[in-house]
């Protein structure tokens, strides 16, 4: 399992700027657009009232918009044609009023809609986030963070672009078009019928173009994805390519895929761009039909000149929404495809679903009479009973963090990430409160997997893991994890100040407590040398912290958290040995009085453990303390000797 690669803040930051570059290679069309659309609309349902208002406003706006051209026709026929200045003034006044209100309503509707759509999007983002948070660790282990991140940001962005800009204009377009058709028939059905000829023509044409456009863009998207993949790989692997002198073959591959992008881009865009000018031309065709037919009808005295003006005005108003809709087509498709992928994540199974059986009341800290033993001596005294739980009557229902002694037993544990490949076989270890045990073994022996099981990142498939005699599957995950402090090889720091990064261990800790923890972790000295001390923001400076300094911060965090059980998973392996000495000192302080599980391949780190458990291929090969195991001259002996007498193996 490759967990070791937790990206640093630098990676985190760089991936924002990559947002646009890391376009997903998937096609930008939803598999089931209707379903995605329906669910997206679901996010609008809480805003039924405001939406009704917006719809009413858009309706009013569109109807008032229709009044303009009608009044224009009236002005031409009655006032100008009839040489009536008084009626001209009133008509002009009416026009001003209708235009003013139409546009005012438009502004108000837009403002309202901006609020609605952004609230809905906020809720969607919130849902997505809380869902991602509750996904099991397996999800994060199997999905590379970078890919997931760029996918989510791109998809949300695509939805945002479409939803925020287009709902109103779409609504207004549809209403305006319907209104225009109705008014045309009311005013003059001959001219209206003639106009209708244009509509199917446009419809047919848009469909024809859309078919090729869709195909073209799908192809383009695929080729862009390919190009992106080459670029990403060759640029991030630049140093290796350079070292192996393979730049020319990289260029050759890039050139090939670049040419493919060019070809499909020209194809797709040429079709897509047909729509814009041609709907424009169809628009003027519309005007021509109206002018010539209207002119002929006017000669026969069937329509007035003002009517023709009105119709031409309508025609112009009619084609612009049509143009807009055809413009929106691609972005709507992209948004729906994005929505589909977002919902895909939201539909994944979460890990909280298993907590029904566990008594949730226990998660709340019960300020019971029995205070936890404060010193190692107290705690040792409390566990004279050895591996047996201190209070024999503890059950899942009465298990509480405060009374937890830190006895851990693994009994016949079986586990595999994939059911057919078992990683941990018949694993049994008893760890008593306050003991330090070390897990030792070659790479891939299953050491890290044990920590994944203790924290319930994964649940075991056979056997039992007990905390003070209680099966951890009966304890809520949150409680299990609160009992454990993890210090990993790759430290993760947040884009926040040093102080807040330490406080992460215990949110209600005071500043003084955080500083005290840093002092215990031997981190205080270097923190004070940072430009702004504890207030130094790590989002800008994390790169300048050495691996060792980062590790000291994470130890301070763990000290502050004050867990009953401490797991150190290769906590010092990426640190040079002289720094390690300092960290070791901090770690020893941290381990004091806690049940500690140490994983290391550097055997020097684990010599002083109470018990060393040697694992190979998921099974325990040997256990005992350092002296015993050396005397046995077994697996451990060989591992140990190989560290400084390598050639003998």
Partner 1 sequence: MNDFKKFLRFAKPYWKLSLFSLAMLVAMVGFDLAVPRLVGHLIDQGIRQKNLSVVLSTSAIMLVISMLSATVAVLNSISSIRVGESIARDLREEIFVKIQRFSYGNVDHFSTAKLMVRLMSDTAAVQRLFQMSLRLGTRAPLAMVGSIILMFVTSRTLALTMMPIFIAGGIVIYFFSTKLEPFFRTVQQRLDRLNTVLQENISGARLVKSFVRGEFEAERFGAANENLARENIRVMQLMASMGPILTLLINFGIVLVVWLGGIQSIGGKLTLGQIIAFTNYLMATLQPLTMMTQLSNNWANGLASAKRISEVLDAEPEVPEAAEAAPLPEPVRGAVDFDRVSFHYNSDTSMSVLEDVCAHAEPGKTTAVLGATGSGKSSLVSLIPRFYDASAGAVAIDGHDVRGLKNDSILEHIAIVPQDTVLFSGTVRDNIRYGRPEASDDEVIAAARAAQAHDFIEKMPLKYETHVEERGANLSGGQKQRVAIARALICKPSILILDDATSAIDVETETKIHNAIASAERGTTVVMVAQRISTVLNADKILVLDQGRVAAEGTHRELLKSSEIYKEIYDSQLGAGVRHGL
| Residue list 319-348, contact with partner 1 (CB under 8 A) | 320
The residue among 464, 454, 451, 431 whose CA lies nearest residue 600 is 451
Please tell me whether residue 210 binds partner 1 under the rule CB under 8 A.
no
Nearer CB in complex with partner 1: 409/605: 605
Q: Which residue has the tokens 């940001």?
A: 153
Dihedral angle sign, alpha carbons of residues 140, 137, 363, 388: negative
Restricting to residues 373-432, name those near partner 1 by CB under 8 A. none
Q: In this complex, which beta carbon is closest to partner 1, that of residue 332 or of residue 390?
A: 332
228 binds partner 1 (CB under 8 A): yes
Q: Given candidates 44, 63, 92, 499, which one binds partner 1 under the rule CB under 8 A?
A: 92
Binding mask 518-547 for partner 1 (x = CB under 8 A): ---------------------x------xx
Contacting range for partner 1; rule: CB under 8 A; set: 134-142, 408-416, 425-433, 510-518: 134-142
Binding positions for partner 1, 477-496, rule CB under 8 A: 478, 481-482, 484-486, 488, 492, 494-495
Stretch that binds partner 1, among 178-186, 191-199, 245-253, 587-595 (CB under 8 A): 245-253
| Beta-sheet pairing, 436-440 with 595-599 | parallel
In the complex with partner 1, which residue's Cβ is closer, 79 or 405?
79
Number of shown-chain residues binding partner 1 (CB under 8 A) = 181
The footprint of partner 1 on residues 7-66 (CB under 8 A) is: 7, 11-23
**236 near partner 1, judged by CB under 8 A:** yes
Q: Which stretch binds partner 1 (CB under 8 A): 125-133, 182-190, 353-361, 378-386?
A: 125-133
> Counting Cβ atoms within 10 Å, is residue 213 exposed (0-12), middle (13-18) or buried (19+)?
buried
Does 147 bind partner 1 (CB under 8 A)? Our answer is: yes
Residue 6 or 207: the one with the smaller Cβ distance to partner 1 is 6
- d(C-alpha 127, C-alpha 306), whole Å: 55
Count of all residues that appear for the chain in the document = 649
Per CB under 8 A, 190 contacts partner 1? no
Look up residue 26 and give its DSSP letter.
S
Can you say whether the dihedral through the CA atoms of 228, 231, 235, 241 is positive or negative? positive
Looking from the CA of 642 toward its CB, the CA atoms found within 13 Å total 11
Of the pair 29, 153, the CB lying nearest partner 1 is at 153
- Contact between residue 12 and residue 490 where contact means Cβ atoms under 8 Å apart: no
| Number of C-beta neighbours around residue 101 at 10 A | 15
Residue with tokens 């059980």: 565
Instruction: For partner 1, give the closer residue by CB, 119 or 414.
Output: 119
H-assigned helices in 430-546: 447-454, 477-483, 498-503, 511-520, 524-529, 538-541
C-alpha–C-alpha distance, residues 271 and 274, integer Å: 5
β-pair partners for 162: none
With binding defined as CB under 8 A, does residue 601 bind partner 1?
Answer: yes
The correct pick among 261, 390, 429, 555 for binding partner 1 (CB under 8 A) is 261
Phi, psi of 405 (to 5 degrees): -85, -30
514 binds partner 1 (CB under 8 A): no
């Amino acid at each position: 399992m490759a967990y070791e690669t937790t990206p640093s803040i630098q990676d985190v930051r760089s991936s924002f700027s990559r947002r646009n570059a890391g376009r997903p290679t998937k096609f930008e069309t939803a598999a089931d657009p209707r379903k995605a659309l329906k669910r997206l609309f679901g996010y609008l349902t809480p805003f039924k009232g405001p939406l009704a208002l917006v719809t009413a406003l858009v309706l009013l706006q569109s109807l008032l918009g229709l009044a303009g051209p009608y009044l224009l026709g009236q002005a031409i026929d009655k006032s100008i044609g009839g040489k009536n200045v008084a009626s001209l003034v009133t008509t002009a006044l009416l026009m001003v009023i209708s235009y003013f209100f139409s546009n005012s309503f438009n502004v108000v509707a837009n403002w309202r809609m901006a609020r609605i759509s952004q609230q809905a999007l906020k809720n969607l983002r919130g849902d997505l986030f809380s869902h991602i948070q509750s996904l099991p660790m397996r999800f994060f282990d199997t999905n590379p963070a970078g890919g997931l991140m760029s996918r989510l940001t791109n998809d949300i962005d695509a939805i945002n672009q479409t939803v925020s800009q287009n709902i109103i204009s779409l609504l207004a377009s549809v209403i305006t078009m319907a209104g225009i058709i109705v008014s045309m028939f009311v005013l003059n059905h001959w001219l209206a019928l003639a106009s209708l000829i244009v509509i199917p023509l446009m419809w047919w044409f848009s469909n024809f173009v859309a078919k090729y456009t869709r195909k073209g863009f799908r192809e383009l998207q695929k080729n862009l994805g390919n190009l992106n993949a080459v670029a990403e790989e060759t640029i991030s692997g630049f140093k290796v390519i350079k070292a192996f002198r393979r730049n020319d073959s990289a260029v050759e591959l890039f050139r090939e895929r670049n040419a493919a992008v060019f070809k499909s881009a020209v194809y797709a865009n040429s079709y897509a761009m047909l729509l814009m000018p041609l709907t424009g031309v169809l628009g003027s065709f519309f005007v021509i039909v109206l002018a010539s037919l209207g002119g002929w009808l006017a000669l026969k005295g069937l329509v007035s000149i003002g009517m023709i003006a009105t119709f031409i005005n309508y025609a112009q108003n009619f084609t612009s929404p049509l143009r807009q809709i055809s413009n929106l087509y691609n972005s709507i498709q992209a948004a729906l495809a994005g929505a589909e992928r977002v919902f895909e994540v939201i539909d994944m199974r979460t890990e909280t679903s298993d907590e029904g059986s566990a008594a949730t009341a226990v998660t709340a800290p019960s300020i019971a009479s029995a205070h936890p033993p404060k010193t190692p001596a107290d705690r040792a005294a409390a566990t004279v009973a050895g591996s047996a739980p201190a209070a024999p009557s503890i059950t899942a229902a009465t298990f509480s963090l405060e009374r937890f002694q830190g006895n851990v037993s693994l009994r016949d544990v079986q586990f595999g990430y994939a059911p057919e490949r078992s990683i941990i076989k018949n694993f049994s270890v008893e760890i008593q409160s306050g003991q330090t045990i070390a897990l030792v073994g070659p790479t891939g022996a299953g050491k890290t997997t044990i920590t994944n099981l203790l924290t319930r990142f994964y649940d075991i498939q056979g056997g039992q893991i007990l905390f003070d005699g209680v099966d951890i599957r009966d304890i809520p995950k949150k409680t299990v994890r609160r009992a454990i402090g993890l210090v990993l090889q790759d430290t993760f720091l947040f884009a926040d100040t040093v102080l807040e990064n330490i406080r992460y261990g215990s949110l209600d800790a005071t500043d003084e407590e955080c500083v005290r923890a840093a002092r215990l972790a031997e981190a205080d000295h270097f923190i004070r040398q940072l430009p702004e001390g504890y207030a130094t923001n790590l989002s800008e400076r994390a790169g300048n912290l050495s691996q060792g300094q980062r590790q000291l911060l994470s130890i301070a965090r763990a000290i502050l958290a004050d867990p009953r059980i401490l797991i150190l998973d290769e906590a010092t392996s990426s640190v040079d040995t002289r720094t390690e000495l300092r960290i070791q000192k901090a770690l020893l302080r941290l381990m004091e009085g806690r049940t500690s599980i140490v994983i290391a391949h550097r055997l020097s780190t684990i010599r002083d453990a109470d018990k060393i458990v040697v694992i190979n291929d998921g099974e325990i090969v040997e256990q005992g303390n350092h002296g015993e195991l050396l005397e046995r001259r077994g697996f451990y002996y060989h591992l140990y000797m190989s560290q400084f007498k390598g050639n003998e193996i």
